[in-house]
Amino acid sequence: MFTTTRRALPALALLLTFLAADARPAQAQTFTRAQVHQMLKTRLMQAIALNGLIQQLSASPAALVPGSAVQSTIAQYQGALASVQYQINQLQLLRAALNQAFAVDRLLQNSQKQTGGQHHHGRKNQRNQQQTTVTQANLQTALATIQAQISSLQATIVVP
């Protein structure tokens, strides 16, 4: 099994390098939480494969020869790994922002449900309704801010 993994790592890393050249940012595309999770999983596997290949190549005697093809290849893989690590970071930020948006939206919906049943008159109730209105406005502002962050992050995600 170890030899299969050793053979698969270079092939996977090489494939990733060629795919990365054709990858483009996902402009005006929205991702679900499941899609973000899957992309994050894929990028983590890519990072592991590239790191394994870099370690393998670095252990070879040819890696010590200045200007060798092995050093050049290692540098290319390190560049690809840096790109994958950046994408992992962006996907983690996107996942966190999506989770925040769902949580704020849930709070907003709960707040709206609670105010829907309150129709009593009186000074205290008016104060409570005003406070609830302010809270809902703050939640809507927070949600709009998070949605802007999500849009910005989605524009940085590269889809292979």
0.95 surpassed by pTM: no
Distance CA 65, CA 71 (A): 8
Mean pLDDT along residues 89-93: 97
pLDDT of amino acid 29:
77
Count of domains observed in the chain:
1
Cβ-based burial of 54 (10 A; exposed 0-12, middle 13-18, buried ≥19): buried
Per-residue model confidence (pLDDT) at position 130? 85
pLDDT value for 23: 52
Average pLDDT taken over every residue of the chain: 83
Which pLDDT band holds residue 129 (cuts at 50, 70, 90)?
A: confident
Q: What is the pLDDT of residue 22?
A: 43
CA 58 to chain centre: 29
pLDDT attached to residue 121: 60
Tell me the percentage of the chain whose pLDDT exceeds 90: 59
Residue 127's pLDDT band (cuts 50, 70, 90): confident
- Pick left, alpha or beta for residue 67 (phi over 0 → left; psi -120 to 50 → alpha; otherwise beta): left
Contacts of 94 (CB under 8 A, 6+ apart): 31, 36, 150, 153, 154, 157
Domain coverage including residue 115: 2-159
Retrieve residue 74's tokens: 């290692």
Element counts in the chain: helices (H) and strands (E): 4, 2
> For residue range 34-46, what is the model confidence (pLDDT) as tens digits?
999 999 999 999 9
In angstroms, what CA-CA distances link 20 with 82, 91, 102, 114?
12, 16, 31, 50
Read off the pLDDT of residues 8-29 as tens digits, 9 standing for 90 and up: 555 555 555 444 544 545 455 7
pLDDT digits (tens, 9 = 90+) for 136-157: 999 999 999 999 999 999 999 9
Residue 158 backbone dihedrals phi, psi, to 5 degrees: -100, 125
Report pLDDT for 159. Answer: 82
Contacts of 9 (CB under 8 A, 6+ apart): 49, 52, 53, 56
